[in-house]
Amino acid sequence: MIRLGTRGSLLATTQSGWIADRLREAHGVEVELVEISTLGDRSSAPLEQIGGTGVFVAAVREALLEGRVDLAVHSLKDLPTAPADGLTLAAVPQREDPRDVLIARDGLTLGELPRGARVGTGSPRRISQLNALGLGIETAPLRGNVDTRIGKVTSGDLDAIVLARAGLLRLGRADEATEILDPIQMLPAPGQGALACECRVDDDATTALLAVLDDPDTRAAVTAERTLLATLEAGCTAPVGALADVVWGDDGDELWLRAVVGDPSGAPVIRRSAVGSPAEAAALGRRLAQEMLADGADQLMGSATTA
């Protein structure tokens, strides 16, 4: 019996259930989901007020380290970039669509929303990129599960909301999106759409079971994105977007990384891209981050924090 630690939300248990099914199919093992309450689930306050990075994973990691569960499944974008003592990222399965989507009243797209329309999101990354488009919309704070967020639109409290498409796809609700946002407009959070399977570093048996789920292209992409985030010294609540893709180039596979650092006020953003080898994903992320820091990304993020 493998005990899989997961947050208790419908999306989290759906994601963890998908991992459990893959393990059952691959190895014929029994997998039990163990629901764990996290600080991020219990509080409705903005994430930066309750600790920001790690509020959705700390309690699950604690259960793993204490031996109450054998592995943990997280949304990778919620995972701090710093390594956790005693734990290893044993598998990063194939990524779901990382893009953001709009869910708006009357089937509207982002460009069709009237000036002054209220768009719900609690993400500084999304706020900065929305405001940088100069559409004259207003952003409003938003927390809660998918049902709660969509309910803000259907009730008329908000004109639209922005969500990750991956979550809607996993819940079978992708058709409720009124527009898929092109990364040219809205780069996703580093790691968005990917799952992280963690286990204890000394648990060779579980590590071996998880190996079959690891997708090399996804791991390379998220390694580049998360290394960029770490080099910028920015957490998961920072106004930073990044997306890496493995593509076919003249000399074989190439890793293309795009990134943006913004300011929630809508001030001009810093947007850069770079290409490298999937085998050197961390170096690519580090190099692009250093270029952005040279362009003033640290000052831009600092002004966003103090605004």
| C-alpha atoms less than 13 angstroms from C-alpha of 82 in its C-beta half-sphere | 8
Contact predicate 18/198, CB 8 Å: no
- Give yes or no: 78 in active site: yes
Contact predicate 138/121, CB 8 Å: no
Contact predicate 289/228, CB 8 Å: yes
Distance CA 16, CA 57 (A): 14
Strand order in the sheet with 71-75: 31-35, 2-6, 71-75, 195-200, 87-91
Nearest to 159 by CA among 124, 99, 116: 116
- The answer for residues whose C-beta is within 8 angstroms of residue 262's C-beta and 6 or more apart is 124, 125, 128, 129, 132, 239, 240, 241, 269, 270, 300, 304
Distance CA 116, CA 131 (A): 12
Contact predicate 191/80, CB 8 Å: no
Among 78, 100, 203, 263, the one annotated catalytic: 78
Catalytic residue IDs: 78
